[in-house]
Each structure stands twice: as structure tokens, then as C-alpha cells.
């Protein structure tokens, strides 16, 4: 979700929603945070956690979450190389949201099944 800035409009105080959404709005972002919440995880692990995501997009999301300070990237200089991603303190702040999304998602499924 990009929200091109509309011109000639002053920003609104109640944009905390959009602010937060700008973090978790990207495709697969919630899933990434979700799977990192139970501990650090490697690239390939995330790939199989979220089989539908392409390598490119996963990399994109990870980079951008790293830049935003949501997660940390640690390269272990072994052979074969391995990289561990982990939520930062800031990243953990998002857990209530992710949790809520997941729970509502579940309830929606249950409702649909009925």
C-alpha cells in the first residue's frame, strides 16, 4: 500500500493507523514477523515457512524491515554461509498487531466454515 501523498492537504493527526500499516502492509510482512517471533531464523527456513513467497520478495521485505529497525541480520561466516534474522526490540512491538490479525483470521475461517 503506497498512499501517494495527495497535494494541498495537511496531514491528519489520526494517521497512526496508516503509519503502522506502512510497516506491515507489504505482502508477506506479517508472516515474516510471525515466524520470527518464536526466535531467530535463517533465510531458507523462512522460505519454507512461507512457501508462497518468492526469494526476491522475501529479500526485499527482509531488507526493508532491517532498514526500518524491525529486525536484525547476522551473517555467520561459515561455509555454506548462513544468515540469521531476528526481531529487534522495536520489532517485538508489532507482536500485538500480528497476534490480533492472526486471531481474527482464525475466527473468520471458523465463521466461514459454519
Q: Which residues bind a copy of itself (CB under 8 A)?
A: 1-3, 6, 9-12, 14-21, 23, 25-28, 30-31, 34, 50-52, 54, 90, 93-94, 96-109, 111
Cα–Cα distance measured from residue 93 to residue 49, given in angstroms and rounded to the nearest whole number? 22
Toward a copy of itself, which CB reaches closer, 25 or 40?
25
Cα–Cα distance measured from residue 70 to residue 23, given in angstroms and rounded to the nearest whole number? 9
Q: What is the DSSP string of 101-113?
A: HHHHHHHHHHHHH
* Residue 15 makes contact with DNA by CB under 7 A: no
Least Cβ distance, residue 85 to a copy of itself (angstroms): 17
Cα–Cα distance measured from residue 63 to residue 73, given in angstroms and rounded to the nearest whole number? 9
* Residue 27 makes contact with DNA by CB under 7 A: yes
Amino acid at each position: 500500500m503506497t498512499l501517494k501523498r495527495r497535494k494541498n492537504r495537511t496531514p491528519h493527526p489520526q494517521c497512526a493507523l496508516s503509519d503502522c500499516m506502512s510497516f506491515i502492509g507489504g505482502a508477506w510482512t506479517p508472516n515474516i514477523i510471525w515466524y520470527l517471533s518464536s526466535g531467530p531464523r535463517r533465510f531458507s527456513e523462512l522460505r519454507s515457512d512461507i512457501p508462497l513467497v518468492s526469494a526476491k520478495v522475501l529479500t526485499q521485505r527482509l531488507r526493508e524491515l532491517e532498514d526500518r529497525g524491525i529486525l536484525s541480520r547476522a551473517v555467520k561466516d561459515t561455509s555454506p554461509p548462513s544468515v540469521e534474522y531476528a526481531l529487534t526490540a522495536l520489532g517485538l512491538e508489532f507482536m500485538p498487531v500480528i497476534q490480533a490479525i492472526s486471531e481474527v483470521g482464525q475466527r473468520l475461517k471458523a465463521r466461514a466454515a459454519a
